[in-house]
Structure 1
Amino acid sequence: MSWPRSADVPVVIGRDDARAAAEAELAKADYLAAQPSWLERAAQWVIDRLDALFRALTSFVPGGGFGLAVLVALLVVVIVVVRLRIGKTARSGALARPVFADRTRTAAEYRAAAESAAASGAFAAAVRDRFRALVRGMEERGVLDPRPGRTADEAATESGRALPGVADELRWAAQVFDAVHYGGEPATAAEYDRMSALDDRAAAQRPEFAR
């Protein structure tokens, strides 16, 4: 890789050029996928810092290679920070999704679907449906109130209070459900067997308090 000749580097970088460069970078699709209110605050912060930086630069070193180096360094830092933030937001958003897409199936129907999937070696589908059978079964028993939009983590937390004997296993099951169904991770026969055993144990336990 060859470095650009000094003649190729702009001699003067103004505040308007810096502002335009920052706005062009922050307008890319990756950044627009973040929460709008957070993106607007981040963009305004970058623009304000650039304005302040170039006011300071012009007071003792007007433009030149130093100004370009500082601009590039600042933009690199901003890009790294924003990308890390977007990644965390995307991951957390991906996991905060509901357990059920269909509110009409019973726990028995989910269990039958899970057994069929497991018999054919489709363990991701088997794990997903067995967890749904577990949660729907607790709704049918009154351990959980039927509530649209409940996430796997919420189901595990709420049912764990009523069934403390399986609370740890419920948290594990919720993590596996999210990782497999929403995270696209593979499932194993051992995970399905463990999920099935948890479903059976939870069904056999009596809640310690009514919900």
Structure 2
Amino acid sequence: MILLQQTPPLAPTPEEGRSWLQRELARPEYHDLDLIERIMRWIERTLSDGIPSAGDVPWAQTVAAMVVFALLLVGIGLLVSRARRSPRVARDRNGDVLTDESLSAAALRARAEAAYAAGDHGTAVIDGFRALARRQVERGRLAEDPGLTAAEVAASLEREMSLDGRAGQAAELFNEVLYGHHPATREQAEGVLALEQELAVAR
């Protein structure tokens, strides 16, 4: 009687399973596919090629294989969660100016001045630039858009007014202070507040 050679059961350790997932996702042919699609293809291929049925292997090996794939699913969940957060993080780094707060330009300006008086120059820069942007929205120069970035505000103002790049410099400072957590100096806060005041009276 001819005995058919059985494929050895696949029962990797959790460490081996994680290593396989990392190596598989690093392969170049995956770079042109959607993240979830390429992970699911790899799992389907592994299931069809390497995992025998539960009746063909001892129960301990079946349990081990199930544990490995549970760990893989957890890893996939983390990857997908990180991928979904990435666009928002990138957008935040560009400097959203208009928040969900329903504060007027005057209220933001008052808050910026209070922060400046208290020696909190970073907050004075942030609220001062937001007051600047909000005032331009109130005057109809900018559209009401919660996703409006500091760079977009500056570019619009530089096109319409002769500001010699000061709006762009204020926008860069806003991003550095709010998202880069850089400290602001008294002179920098004064510059943003002066620009906001200049634009407040401009026609």
Normalised by the shorter chain, which TM-score bucket?
Answer: 0.5 to 0.7
Higher helix share: 1
Give, in whole Å, the separation in 1 of the partners of 2:151 and 2:200.
19
Indicate which of 153, 156, 167 corresponds to 2:154: 156
Contact 1:114 1:126 in 2 (8 A): yes
Q: What is the CA-CA distance between 1:174 and the residue it aligns to?
A: 0.8
The residue correspondences of 1:105-120 to structure 2 (distance < 5 A) are 105-120=103-118
Contact 1:108 1:133 in 2 (8 A): yes
Indicate which of 169, 194, 197 corresponds to 1:197: 194
Residue 136 (structure 1) aligns with: 134
Residue 171 (structure 1) aligns with: 168
Give, in whole Å, the separation in 2 of the partners of 1:93 and 1:145.
18
Change (3 A) 1:176 1:91: farther
* Aligned-partner SS, 2:163: helix
The residue correspondences of 1:54-133 to structure 2 (distance < 5 A) are 92-133=90-131
Give, in whole Å, the separation in 1 of the partners of 2:191 and 2:111.
17
Q: How does the TM-score come out when normalised to structure 1?
A: 0.55
Return the index of the structure with the highest Cα Rg. Answer: 2
Give, in whole Å, the separation in 2 of the partners of 1:196 and 1:119.
12
* Aligned-partner SS, 1:160: helix
Contact 2:95 2:174 in 1 (8 A): no
Number of matched pairs = 144
Aligned-CA RMSD value: 3.7
Identity %: 32
Give, in whole Å, the separation in 2 of the partners of 1:123 and 1:38.
44
Unaligned runs of 5+ in 1: 1-17, 28-36, 48-85, 207-211
Change (3 A) 1:121 1:161: same
Give, in whole Å, the separation in 2 of the partners of 1:142 and 1:131.
17
Give, in whole Å, the separation in 1 of the partners of 2:189 and 2:147.
24
Change (3 A) 1:132 1:90: closer
Q: What is the CA-CA distance between 1:133 and the residue it aligns to?
A: 0.7
Alignment deviations for residues 13-70 of structure 1 (CA, whole Å, 9 cap, x no partner) = xxxxx9973633688xxxxxxxxx6767999xxx9xxxxxxxxxxxxxxxxxxxxxxx
Q: What is the CA-CA distance between 1:161 and the residue it aligns to?
A: 1.5
Give, in whole Å, the separation in 1 of the partners of 2:37 and 2:151.
30
Q: What is the CA-CA distance between 1:170 and the residue it aligns to?
A: 0.7
Contact 2:98 2:133 in 1 (8 A): no
Unaligned runs of 5+ in 2: 1-15, 26-32, 43-82
Contact 2:151 2:172 in 1 (8 A): yes
Q: Does 1:21 pair with 2:19?
A: yes
